[in-house]
Structure 1
C-alpha cells in the first residue's frame, strides 16, 4: 500500500503546519517534498512522542533525514538541552538513522578528533543516547577511535546512564566497552598507557558501567589492574570476589581483609555498605566458596569485625553482630575455638 502525502504536502506548501507536526506519520514526511523544511520544523518532527505503531523504521527515518540533511545539524543543535524518553520507541530508531546518514559518512580522521566527538556525542546525539540500540553500539566498535575519543564517548554515555534502562546499560558494556577494550588492532590495546592509576583507568575506560562486570572480567580487560587501589569504585559484590579470588596477582587474604575494612570503616558512606558486603560474603561462603577462605583469613575477618563494632553506627554494629553468628556456622571447628579463646583472653 502506497503512502499518501497529499494532505501533508498542502500544509508544507502553504506553511500551515505549525502545531501539527506530530499529526502526520513519519512515512508521509519521508515521501513528501521537504526542500522548504526548516531546522525548527525538523526539530519538532524529531520531538514527537510517537507510539510503537507510528514510530517509523530506520530506512524511513534514514530517507527523511537524508532529504533534510541541509538542516539536520542545526536541528540537532536545537535539541541539545532536552533528553528523549528512552521508552519512546522512535528514539533508538532515529539515533540509528542519524548514525547511518551522518556518522557512517564521515572519514576516519574525524573519529580521532576530540572536538568532533564532543560536538556529536556530547551535544547532538546526547538527547537520544539513553535509548541507544545494540546495533548502534556495535557499529561504534568498528570505528578507529583513539583512546582519547573512545573515552570521550564513555564519559558521555556515563552522564546519561541514569536515564538508561538496565538492559541498555548492560548493552553499552557488552556491545561497546568490552569489544573496544579487547581489540588488539589499536595503537594502545586496552587503553592502558594513558592512565596513572587503576582508579583512573576504570573511571576513564569503563565508567559506572563497571558495576555490571565481575572482578575477574575487569582483570581480564586490564591485567595490571589493582583492585585494592580502586576500592572506592568497586561494588560490594566485586569486593567479595576480591576476597575470595585466588589469583597470583593479588595479595594474600589477610592483606585484602585489612585493606577492605580500613576502607569500609573510613567514612560514614562506606560504613553503610558493610551490611551488604557481609550479607554477600555469607552468601558466597555458604555456597561453597569457604574452601577458598583460609583459617588465617577467618581469624583476621573476625578480628576486624570486632574492631568495626566500636567504629560504626548502632544499626550497622547490630548487623555485624548478627552476621558474626551466621558466619560462625561456616567456620571450621579449630578456627572457631581459636577465635573463642582470643575473645575470652581479651575479656
Structure 2
C-alpha cells in the first residue's frame, strides 16, 4: 500500500481498485486543492497499472472541475504510459487515437515542455503524428499562449525536422499546401515563424501561400520578398489582412513590421499602406483610449506617417481630446 493522502477519498485506500473506483479516486484528487509531485503521480499510476487504461477511459467521460491544474499529472502519464508504447503501437492509428483523443484528452491542455520534447522523439508514423496534433488542437481553447508556442517549438517543428522519418516532413500524399499545413500544424500554424514553415515546405517562399499565413508571418514574408517596394504585392498583403478581423490583423502586422527596426518603404507603397490602414483604424477612433492613440501614432504608424494627408489629420483631430492629442 502506498501513502497517498486523500482524506475525502478514504474509501478507496485498497491496493486493488477497479477501473470505476480508480476513476472516482482520480476525479476526487484532481478536484481537490492538494498538489502532488510527478514522482507521487508516477507511483500512483504504476501501483494501479492494471486498472489504469479502463480508469482513464471512464475519467475522459466524467465532468470534473480542475480547481488547480497540475501539469505533473500529464508528465507522469507520459513516463508511465507513452514512454512504454511499443514501436507497433506508435504507428497504430486506432491505438494512438484511443490514447490521445480519449485517455489523455482531459490532461492535454496541461502540456509541458518536457512532455512535448519527449513526444518529438517518438517514432510516430505521419498518420499517427497527425492524430496527436489533432488531439492537441482540440484543447487549444484551454491552453495558455506560451503552451501553444511550445507545441510548435518543442514538438511539431522538431518532429517534422527529423531526418529519420519514413516520410520526411510528412509531405507525401498531401493534396495542397493548405492540406499539409492543416494536417501537420493543426491549430498551431500561427505560432511558427515563416522561416520554420519555409524550412519544412518550400511553397511558403512565395506569395502563393499568403492566404495561409498569420499577420506576423505576412510581415516576415513582406520583408523577405521585397513587398515594401511593390504596390501590386502590397495590395495582396492588405487583401489578406482585411480577411477576418482587419483591425487586429493590421495591428499585429505593423507591430511585427516595426519590430525589425527601421524599414524602408517606397513612397508609392507607403501611400497605399497609409491609406488602407487609415480606412481600417479610423472607424475605431471613437473607441480609442489614450494608450491606443499612443500605440498607433507613436508606434505602429511611424513608418507610414510621412504619407498622412490633411484629410486624415482632420478626421483624426475631430475624434480626439486634448489629452489624447498630446500623446500623439
Normalised to the residue count of structure 2, the TM-score between the two structures is: 0.74
Q: Deviations over 1:152-209 (max 9, x none)?
A: 1101101101111223222222221121011111112222223222222222111222
Counterpart for residue 263 of structure 2: 290
Relative to structure 1, the CA distance from residue 227 to residue 122 in structure 2 (aligned partners, 3 Å threshold; closer, same or farther) is: farther
User: 2:283 is matched with which residue: 302, 308, 315?
Assistant: 315
| Pair 241,56 (structure 1): closer, same or farther in 2 beyond 3 Å | same
Which ranges in structure 1 are unaligned for 5 or more consecutive residues? 9-19, 341-347
1:144 Cα offset (Å): 0.6
Counting only pairs closer than 5 Å after superposition, residues 51-200 of structure 1 correspond to structure 2 as 54-82=34-62, 88-89=68-69, 91-200=70-179
8 Å CA contact retained: 2:126, 2:167: yes
The superposition leaves residues 90-109 of structure 1 with CA deviations (integer Å, 9 ceiling, x where unpaired) of: x4222222222222223111
The structure-2 alpha-carbon separation of the partners of 1:44 and 1:224, relative to structure 1 and needing over 3 Å to count, comes to: same
Of stretches 250-259 and 207-216 in structure 1, the one that deviates more from structure 2 is 250-259
Size of the aligned set, in residue pairs, is 303
CA contact (8 A) 1:81 1:127 kept: no
Structure 2, unpaired ranges of 5+: 288-292, 311-328
1:283-328 deviation digits (Å, cap 9, x = unpaired): 735864422x33453355467x39x95xx79826999xx9899999
Aligned pair partner of 1:202 in 181, 206, 209: 181
The alignment's C-alpha RMSD in Å is 4.0
> How far did residue 119 of structure 1 move?
0.5
What do residues 42-101 of structure 1 show as CA deviations (whole Å, max 9, x unaligned)? Answer: 111211355998433333322222222221111111122347667735x42222222222
Q: Within the alignment, does 1:219 sit opposite 2:192 as a pair?
A: no
Separation of aligned partners in 2, 1:3 and 1:109: 33
Are the equivalent residues in 1 in contact too, given 2:170–2:184 (CA < 8 A)? Answer: yes
Counterparts in 2 of 1:279 and 1:73: CA distance versus 1, 3 Å: closer
Find out whether 1:259 has 2:236 as its counterpart.
Answer: yes
